[in-house]
Amino acid sequence: MRLSQLFGKTLRQVPAEAETASHRLLLRAGMVAQISAGIYAYLPLGFEVLKRIETIIREEMDAAGSQELLMPSLLPIEVYQASGRDRTMGEILFQVRDHHDRDFTLGPTHEEIFVEVFKRNVQSYRDLPLLLYQIAPKFRDEPRPRGGLIRLRQFIMKDLYSFDADREGLDHSYQLMYDAYKRVFDRCGVPTVPALADSGAMGGSDTHEFLYLTDVGEDHCLLCPECGYAANAEVATFIKEPAWANEAPLPLEEIDTPGLKTIAELADFLDVPPTKTCKAVFYLASLPGEPEKPVFVAVRGDMDVNEAKLRSALGAVELRYMEEDDVRRAGFVAGSAGAVGLEGASVVADDLVTLEHNLVAGANKPDKHVLNTNYGRDWTADIVADIALAHEGALCAACRTPMDERRGIEMGQVFKLGTKYSESMGAYFLDAEGKQQPAIMGSYGIGVERLLAAIIEENHDENGIVWPPRLAPYDVHLVGLQLERSPGAKEAAEKLYADLSNAGVRVLYDDRDESPGVKFNDADLLGMPLRVTVSPRNLEQNAVEVRARTADESELVPLDVAVEELRARVV
RNA sequence: CGGGGCGUAGCGCAGUCCGGUAGCGCACCUGAAUGGGGUUCAGGAGGUCGCCGGUUCAAAUCCGGCCGCCCCGACCA
C-alpha cells in the first residue's frame, strides 16, 4: 500500500478528549474515527489490526476444538424473556421495534440464542461435548462509555459457549478455554493475570477475569505477592482480625456528637481509632419480582462495603446506594444511624463487627451516638456475612501476606454457567441410560477492540505505536527519501516496493513528497516492525537502511540482498 | 443518574465577561525554494459559531429550553 493512497491520515494534534495513550495513538495514527459516545468506525489500518487479532483468536479457539458460526445481532425479545434477562440486564439492553410493533433487542451477549440453536441440533450425549463460538458485534447501552476503545456501546466480541454432559466435562472445557485465553493474550503481547471474579448478571459458579494491569484500568484487583492469589476487589477475601474482642462489654452510653457525621470526625472527636466505630450504610435492594426495600448495612468503621458481596449475600438483583437525602426521606437519621433500636430496615452485618466489643455507633437520633454497642446484647442482624471490601495491604486469606491493590482492564472472562440457561430454556439431551439431562454450560468472552486498546497501551513509546510483529498491519514501512534529487532513485524505490511485495512481504510505501522529519515521525507513529529507507545517499553505497522499530540504530543492507534479508526477518 | 468541563473550518484553539461585517496555528489546494527527525516563503479554498426559541436596530456573545461530547462518581460483562 502506498501511504499517499491510504485512507486515514496521521494527525499532529489529537482531539482534546483523548486521554489514554491507546486512544490518542489510535486517533493520531488515523486508525479509528469516533461516531458517537462508545461507537467507533475502524479505518483501514485499524481494521487490519482487528482482523489480525481475530486471526490469533480463531487459531486458538479452533485448536481447542471449537467450531465457529455466526448468530444474528437482532434478536426477538422473547429469547431474553425466556431466561429472564430482559429484566436482569435492564437498561443496558438496546431495544428496537419492527413495523409490526414486535420488540427486538440488539444482542448484548448471546447465551440465549446459542441455547436456542443448540436445542434444534442436539438431542444426544453423543453430540457432547460441544464448543461453539462466533466473533460478532455486541450492543450494550453502557451508562458511561470511556477511554476510547476501552468501554464501548458497540463492540466486537469473541463469545464461545461450551455444552457438556456432566460437571467433569465442564471443568475440562473451562480449563481448555482458560489455557487458550492465556495463549491469545500472550501472543497479542498483553500480559494478563487470571483473577477470581464476580459472575454478576451472567449467573453460574466459578469465573475468572483475565486482567491487564494498568493504571488506566477501571477494575480493582488484589494480588498476593507471596502465593499468587489474585481476585477482583468485588470478590476478594481477606483475613479480618478483631481489634477489641477481648474487651469486657461495657454498658451502653448515649453521648452528644453535635454535627459529627463521618467516621473520621467521630473518631477524632472521641479520640478513638476508626476500628472502634461501626459504620452504617443504607441501600435499597430489590429481589427478583419484589419492590425495593431498605437495607441497613454495618461494617467496622475502617472498612467499606463491598457491593458485589452484599448483593450476593442478599440474593438481590439490584442494589442502590442511598444518598444522605434518600436516607432522610426514608425516615432514618442520616449521619447518626445505628443498628441499636433501628426499625424499618433489614440489617446486614459484616462478620467482623459482630466479633468486636464496645463499638461506637449512631443512636438514630440527630447529633447523638452510643458508646459500647455489642452485637448480640444490643443488636442483631438478619444476615451476617463477609461484605467488606478488600484494600491495599489486606491480608491474603491463603497465606496472611499483605496484598497489593492494582487497577486493571478486563480482557476476557470465563464462566462456569452450569444449568442456568439450559434449565430455564429447556436445553436437554438424552444420556447413555436414556434419561433427560440439562446441558452443562460455560461461556467465554474476549472483547476484541478492548484487546486492541490494551495492545497499544502495552506496546508504545513516546513516538508512537510499537506493534508486536504478528499484529502489525504491515511488515515493512518503506520510506522513500529525497528520491527526486537523484536520477534513478525513484525507480530503485519502486522496484524494491514491487520486489518485496512479490516476495510476500507486506509493505507500506511512503511515496509522499514530504520532508524527512515528517516521514520518520509518521513511521514511528504507525509503528511497523521494520523501517527501510531508500535515498540517494544510501543508493550511492548500493544499500538501503534498515531499522527495527525497537532498535536505536539502523544498519545498511546491500541492495542486491535486501529482499531476501527482509523476507527472512518478517514473521 | 449525581458532580465538573466543553461545543466556533477536518484537528487544536482565541473571540463570549463588556452585543456592532468570524480570527489564529496545523492539515488541505497552487507555485517556488529546501532536503536525513514535524523546513521556509508567497498565494488560495474552507465556517448553518451544536439545535430551537426569546430579547435587540443588531446575537458566536445576553436570556430560556433542548441536544451532543469528555472527565470523576454511581452502575456495569
CB A161 within 8 A of CB A45: no
Q: What confidence tens digit (pLDDT) does each residue in A511-561 have?
A: 999 999 999 999 999 999 999 999 999 999 999 999 999 999 999 999 999
Please determine, for residue A336, whether its predicted confidence score (pLDDT) is greater than 90: no
Give SS3 for A370: strand
CA→C1' distance for A184 and B65 (Å): 51
Query: What single-letter DSSP state applies at residue A403?
Result: P
CA distance A222 to A210: 13
**Peptide bond preceding A291: is omega within 30 degrees of 0, i.e. cis?**
no
Residue A489, all three cell numbers: 532513485
Give SS3 for A511: coil
Contacts of A228 (CB under 8 A, 6+ apart): none
Task: Render A189-244 in DSSP notation, one character per residue.
Answer: T---EEEE---GGG--S-EEEEEEE-TT-SEEEEE-TTT--EEETTT--EE---SS
CA distance A362 to A372: 11
CA→C1' distance for A215 and B28 (Å): 38
CB A121 within 8 A of CB A139: no
CA→C1' distance for A144 and B71 (Å): 11
pLDDT of residue A321: 82
CB A486 within 8 A of CB A534: no
- Mean pLDDT on A60-80: 96
Q: What confidence tens digit (pLDDT) does each residue in A237-259 have?
A: 999 999 999 999 999 999 999 88
Please determine, for residue A289, whether its predicted confidence score (pLDDT) is greater than 70: no
Please determine, for residue A100, whether its predicted confidence score (pLDDT) is greater than 80: yes
Stated pTM of the model: 0.94
pLDDT of residue A458: 95
Q: Which nucleotide is nearest to A445 (CA to C1')?
A: B77
pLDDT of residue A288: 63
The distance between the two most distant Cα atoms of chain A, rounded to a whole number of Å, is: 100
Structure-model confidence comparison of residues A169 and A268, the more confident one = A169
Q: Distances from the Cα of A456 to the Cαs of A46, A149, A214, A453, in angstroms?
A: 11, 11, 12, 5
| Mean of per-residue pLDDT scores for chain A | 93
Q: What confidence tens digit (pLDDT) does each residue in A141-161 have?
A: 998 898 899 999 999 999 999
The beta strands (E) that lie in A29-129 are given as 32-36, 39-42, 67-68, 74-76, 94-97, 103-106
Q: Which nucleotide is nearest to A538 (CA to C1')?
A: B36
CB neighbourhood size of A399 (10 A):
14
Q: Which nucleotide is nearest to A27 (CA to C1')?
A: B11
Residue percentage of chain A with pLDDT more than 70:
99
Helix (H) or strand (E) holding A472: none
CB A128 within 8 A of CB A165: yes
Please classify residue A79 by burial: count the beta carbons closer than 10 Å to its beta carbon, then call 0-12 exposed, 13-18 middle and 19+ buried.
buried
CA distance A484 to A180: 51
Q: List the single range of A23-32, A327-336, A544-553 with lowest mean pLDDT.
A: A327-336
Please determine, for residue A316, whether its predicted confidence score (pLDDT) is greater than 80: no
pLDDT band at A113 (very low <50, low <70, confident <90, very high): very high
Q: What are the residues facing A544 on neighbouring strands? A: A557
- Mean pLDDT on A22-43: 93
Q: List the single range of A52-66, A84-98, A509-523, A548-562 with lowest mean pLDDT.
A: A84-98
Q: What confidence tens digit (pLDDT) does each residue in A389-440 have?
A: 998 999 999 999 999 999 999 999 999 999 999 999 999 999 999 999 999 9
CA distance A371 to A385: 24
The closest of A498, A405, A437 to A215, measured between CA atoms, is A405
Q: Which of A19-28, A43-52, A202-211, A291-300 has the highest mean pLDDT?
A: A43-52
CA→C1' distance for A384 and B72 (Å): 33
Q: Which nucleotide is nearest to A201 (CA to C1')?
A: B77
| B76 nearest neighbour residue (CA to C1') | A142
pLDDT of residue A468: 97
Task: Render A260-313 in DSSP notation, one character per residue.
Answer: --SHHHHHHHHT--GGGBEEEEEEEEE-TTS--EEEEEEEETT--B-HHHHHHH
CA→C1' distance for A453 and B15 (Å): 37
Q: What confidence tens digit (pLDDT) does each residue in A175-226 have?
A: 999 999 999 999 999 999 999 998 876 666 789 999 999 988 889 999 999 9
Provide the positions of strand B that have an atom within 7 A of a protein CB. Answer: 1-2, 5, 11-13, 25-27, 34-39, 68-77
CB A234 within 8 A of CB A308: yes
CA→C1' distance for A24 and B61 (Å): 33
According to DSSP, the β-strands at A428-430 and A39-42 are unpaired
Q: Which nucleotide is nearest to A141 (CA to C1')?
A: B76
